[in-house]
Amino acid sequence: MIIVLVSSLAAVVAFAGWLSVRQFAEQGKHAGAGVGALTVQQLLAQIDAEDARWQASVARAGDEGRSARRLGDAAAAAR
């Protein structure tokens, strides 16, 4: 009975280990350091550029909204 229990436990541990390796083996890999790999500085510069573009689009949308409200107010006042 003990032999069956120990062998069953070993099979379960081996199966759990196989699943773990299969699931998590790809995590933690990176693109490498070869030609074309991005540096941290390049990634931060890209984030800053995207943030600046987003802020500019929000500012433009706000200006357009104010202009539309002014036009609507002027049209309502003309009636």
What is the per-residue pLDDT across 32-67, written as a single tens digit (0 to 9) for each?
A: 666 677 778 888 999 999 999 988 888 887 766 555
Size of the chain, expressed as the number of residues it contains: 79
- The answer, as to whether pTM is greater than 0.95, is no
∠ CA(51), CA(70), CA(59), 5° rounding?
A: 5
Q: Domain count for the chain, please give it.
A: 1
In a domain, 49, yes or no: yes
pLDDT on residue 21: 87
∠ CA(38), CA(50), CA(30), 5° rounding?
A: 25
pLDDT on residue 22: 85
| Residue 76 structural domain | 38-79
Residue 21 corresponds to which tokens in the numbers above? 């390796």
**What is the end-to-end Cα distance of the chain in Å, rounded?**
96
pLDDT surpassing 90 at residue 6: yes
CA 53 to chain centroid, in Å, comes to: 18
* Mean pLDDT (whole number) for 6-23: 93
